[in-house]
């Protein structure tokens, strides 16, 4: 395993010799320079893990060299060394990105610890940068699957939001539509991509703990607060805080969140001073928060503050053939994971997928594909292993009732011929709404025109079909 290289920059040969021998004894590979010019050349050629940089050099200042190191490699670890520790130099070095500052005469035991910690810090920075880069590739907008008009409209809006400086965003959509994926795409598509993305599910944490989780607490703020704790707002500084299922927050905490968003500051539980907030807040809910506000279950002022930028995620049933695109994506994904070689769907399964109303949205589709691929023995997914409820949902829908059209120019209502065996009126409505959505390619405005109802009436029926409205 190659040794870590450390660049020593000092115009005193005796100091360079002492440091070189010490570094070799500690298991490092030292290289030396006596001037700023030579140091920059070696830095470029050797790419050292750390630099020991004197400030006063014959051809310039070590502070200028520090700035050049950080310009060429922002993650570089530079430890400044000088015989005259001055406050101005110390401040300038730390502001310039120096890892630490050591005065002469150098205590080797102190230097050894400083170098070891500095190199470990550099490794962690590189690993974090690599992981964030990988996350950015995994969660960018190109990874969101869907070609329907509804998805194209949603992604176009989300891209604009990512490129903006919007401090808060509201994502609304049914469970399983991918709100978390869109939130990550917004983060990794923004100028905040190299900073943290912190997510919390507001429904998964008890109400008594969530305030401390969000804002942190001071030591002694409550019985079990034995030490100060940073909250998620602090951890997300410079990045994005994703508040999933925000509709589950109790009203008292909603008021505190509104204050944070309005004032741009927050306070730890038990704290006495406000801390600045520098994070984009993305909130998400599977509820209609405007309706929740009117019912007194969500603060209207918080809803308006969050919904300055609102993105509505379309349910899968409004996305046309996106279900087939997603199915093939998950087939490819699970082929690798399950060591299968399934090529796709049979035409019969494709038809079922096109017509099924997908109450669980993309999450339900993913789970069905995983289940079927575990059980399927052929090279295509057939009807044999699909859940019975999914097939029954299609097979129990009656054929479209015969409609006697009104003569041209007349405005009388169309006449439906009732079959002798009768019909299930709910199923007829379900079938007509589905057909309108399919013919319109998921466009709710066009679908409502086909049905002769308003867009709000159509949305009401879609929610009723999905079971999100009480009977």
Residues 122 and 258 in one domain: no
Q: Is residue 268 located within the same domain as residue 195?
A: yes
Q: How many CB atoms lie within 10 A of CB 352?
A: 19
Q: What is the DSSP letter of 269?
A: B
For residue 421, the SS3 value is: coil
- 12 & 106 share domain: yes
With a threshold of 0.85, does the pTM exceed it?
no
Q: How many residues does the chain have?
A: 471
Give the 3-state secondary structure of 433-459: HHHHHHHCCCCHHHHHHHHCCCHHHHH
Q: Are residues 352 and 381 in the same domain?
A: yes
Picking from 114, 133, 152, the residue at the C-terminal end of a domain is 133
Note whether 165 and 31 are same-domain residues. no
- Return d(Cα 309, Cα 227) in angstroms, integer: 38
The average confidence (pLDDT) of the chain is 85
What CATH number has the domain bearing residue 235?
3.40.50.300
Among 58-67, 217-226, 341-350, name the most confident range: 341-350
Q: What is the DSSP string of 162-205?
A: HHS--SEEEEE--TTS-HHHHHHHHHHTSTTTTS-EEEEETTSS
Distance CA 373, CA 340 (A): 8
Same domain, 290 and 163: yes
CB atoms within 10 A of CB 187: 26
Q: What is the pLDDT of residues 403-460, one digit of tens each?
A: 444 443 444 445 566 665 666 677 777 788 888 887 877 778 778 878 878 777 787 7
Residue 52 has pLDDT above 90, yes or no: yes
Residue 449 and residue 370 in one domain: no
pLDDT at 361: 95
In a domain, 423, yes or no: yes
Top mean-pLDDT range of 70-84, 98-112, 354-368, 413-427: 354-368
Q: How many domains does the chain have?
A: 4
- Give whichever of 1-10, 314-323, 407-416 has the largest mean pLDDT: 314-323
Which segment, 79-83, 235-239, 429-433, is predicted with the most confidence on average?
235-239
Mean pLDDT for 155-166 is: 94
Residue 471 in any domain: the answer is no
**φ, ψ at 309 (rounded to 5°):** -120, 105
Which range of residues forms the domain containing residue 191? Answer: 142-314
The CATH number assigned to the domain holding 446 equals 1.10.10.60
Same domain, 307 and 352: no
pLDDT at 459: 79
Give residues with Cβ within 8 angstroms of 402, minimum separation 6.
Answer: 416, 417
For residues 82 and 80, give the distance between their C-alpha atoms in angstroms, rounded to a whole number: 7
Question: Is 291's pLDDT higher than 60?
Answer: yes
Same domain, 304 and 323: no
**Domain assignment of residue 83, yes or no:** yes
pLDDT at 399: 41
Which range among 60-64, 308-312, 451-455 has the greatest average pLDDT? 308-312
Any domain includes 175: yes
Regarding predicted confidence, which is higher, 464 or 73? 73
Among candidate residues 49, 75, 78, the one with its CA nearest the CA of residue 66: 78
């Amino acid at each position: 395993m190659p040794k870590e290289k450390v660049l020593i920059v000092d115009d005193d040969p005796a100091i360079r010799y002492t440091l070189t021998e010490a570094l070799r004894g500690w298991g490092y590979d030292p290289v030396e320079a006596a001037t700023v010019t030579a140091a920059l050349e070696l830095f470029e050629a050797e790419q050292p893990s750390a630099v020991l940089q004197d400030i006063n050099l014959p051809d310039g200042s070590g502070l200028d060299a520090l700035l050049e190191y950080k310009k060429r490699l922002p993650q570089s670890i530079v430890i400044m060394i000088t015989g005259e520790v001055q406050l101005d130099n110390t401040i300038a070095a730390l502001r310039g990105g120096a890892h630490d500052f050591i005065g002469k005469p150098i205590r080797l035991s102190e230097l050894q610890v400083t170098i070891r910690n500095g190199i470990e810090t550099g490794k962690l920075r590189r690993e974090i940068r690599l992981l964030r880069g990988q996350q950015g590739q995994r969660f960018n907008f190109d990874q969101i699957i869907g070609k329907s008009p509804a998805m194209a409209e949603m992604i176009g809006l989300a891209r604009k939001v990512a490129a903006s400086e919007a401090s808060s965003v509201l994502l609304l959509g049914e469970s399983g539509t991918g709100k978390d994926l869109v939130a990550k795409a917004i983060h990794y598509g923004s100028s905040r991509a190299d900073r943290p993305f912190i997510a919390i599910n507001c429904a998964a944490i008890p109400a008594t703990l969530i305030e401390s989780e969000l804002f942190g607490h001071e030591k002694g703020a409550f019985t079990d607060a034995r030490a100060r704790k940073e909250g998620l707002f602090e951890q997300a500084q410079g990045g994005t805080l994703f508040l999933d299922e925000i509709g589950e927050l109790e009203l008292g905490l909603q008021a505190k969140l509104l204050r944070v968003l309005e004032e741009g500051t927050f306070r730890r539980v038990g704290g006495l001073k406000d801390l600045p907030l520098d994070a984009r807040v993305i909130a998400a809910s599977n509820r209609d928060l405007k309706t929740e506000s009117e019912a007194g279950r969500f603060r209207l002022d918080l809803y308006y503050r969050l919904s300055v930028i609102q993105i509505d995620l379309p349910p899968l049933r409004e996305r046309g053939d996106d279900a087939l695109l997603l199915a093939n994506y998950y087939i490819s994904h699970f082929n690798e994971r399950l060591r299968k070689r399934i090529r796709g769907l049979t035409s019969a399964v494709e038809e079922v997928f096109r017509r099924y109303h997908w109450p669980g949205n993309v999450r339900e589709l993913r789970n069905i594909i995983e289940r079927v691929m575990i059980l399927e023995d052929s090279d295509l997914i057939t009807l044999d292993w699909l859940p019975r409820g999914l097939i029954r949902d299609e097979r129990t829908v009656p054929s479209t009732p015969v409609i006697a059209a009104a003569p041209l120019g007349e405005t009388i209502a169309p006449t439906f011929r009732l079959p002798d065996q009768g019909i299930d009126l709910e199923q007829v409505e379900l079938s007509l709404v589905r057909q309108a959505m399919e013919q319109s390619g998921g466009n709710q405005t066009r679908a409502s025109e086909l049905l002769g109802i308003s867009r709000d009436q159509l949305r009401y029926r879609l929610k009723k079909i999905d079971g999100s409205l009480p009977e």
